[in-house]
Structure 1
């Protein structure tokens, strides 16, 4: 009798365990999905509030500044209101891609071939060399050359997508100062991308 019931009993235990495991997995999936919605809510709220706060200050403080501050606050390293799980990385990559795209729209290719463009390229090369030299001195030349190149690229990079809204909000776009910032910013954004691409392809 016991030999007849034991397989049934074990089968029932296995089924219960499978149901319990599936229920736990379903609960975790539900919590994971709700966390994504909460993160998207906070990100959307920040995107809505930042331009409003910028207008309240008379655009003296660009909305990009508020976006950066709020991003720090709601991020996983502070209040942890928004995390980087689920579809958030895709949203992050999409936003970064759009930022580069918008910055590319503003770049005048002919200005990069002008005297100011050549001066910007020379300035970037000097900054790259200084960054590499500084990293080498700090580490007492104890690392590989690729490490110093990576540090030099990081130190000589600019964020043109962040600078553009600031220039426009202050009415500096199209002025000599704005054009100089645009040219140097474009070089400081394009050349590091090429440099880091070559560096990563060689590793």
Structure 2
């Protein structure tokens, strides 16, 4: 199957599944996920995880997160940072600890493998969370701000812990833990500053352009 045919099948079936998910009073993302399972290698094996599919899916996640960032209310996230951080911390500790104990004691995994399994299972799918909140019109509410903040903080904590764990258990030479954590922190700060001060200026420029693609580009 050519990449154009794959793209056609994916878009057609996901739109149909999303439509019927909404009809059944469920988020459209549920139908889209089910289509991925059905036509993917797990069942019908129509679509394979090729390079094109990987890039296309990454692009979709980037666009979704960018749109959510445009529609989100940063003031709400800052206002409810404390409960969001509490939820995120518990969302890392409980799944990581539970998965570690199960893998190490029940399945006889090594300590290293159990730690990695716990951290991987504690990561949150921010894109799916935001999509569901958008459809429910709860993105810019107190609950939505706490959920989004917790999901983002959860992933940040997991990334930092995975980096630290890789430095401790990795077989090859790695940079110091503090240097790696500092780089991660600087990355998030730079991205936050760009989204706060630079992106709005570009959007204002795009809105003044007399071109039909200006809204899409923005």
TM-score, with length taken from structure 1: 0.64
Give structure 2 stretches of 5+ with no counterpart: 171-218
Matched residues in 1 for 2:21 and 2:90: separation? 36
Matched residues in 1 for 2:13 and 2:115: separation? 36
- For residues 134-192 of structure 1, the C-alpha deviation after alignment (integer angstroms, 9 at most, x for no partner) is 234321385234x3432332333222211222222223232322222222222223332
CA-based RMSD = 3.0
Match of 1:124 among 88, 96, 102: 88
Matched residues in 2 for 1:94 and 1:161: separation? 12
TM-score, with length taken from structure 2: 0.60
Matched residues in 2 for 1:66 and 1:170: separation? 15
Asked if 1:63 corresponds to 2:31, the answer is no
Asked if 1:135 corresponds to 2:102, the answer is no
Match of 1:49 among 13, 16, 25: 16
Matched residues in 2 for 1:196 and 1:54: separation? 35
Match of 2:62 among 92, 97, 101: 97
Aligned length: 166
Higher relative CO (CA 8 A, sep ≥ 6), structure 1 or 2? 1
Match of 2:44 among 74, 79, 88: 79
- For residues 25-72 of structure 1, the C-alpha deviation after alignment (integer angstroms, 9 at most, x for no partner) is xxxxxxxxx4444422311212432443355x18x2222111101111
User: Who is 1:154 aligned against?
Assistant: 120
Matched residues in 1 for 2:129 and 2:33: separation? 13
**Larger Rg, first or second structure (1 or 2):** 1
Asked if 1:184 corresponds to 2:155, the answer is no
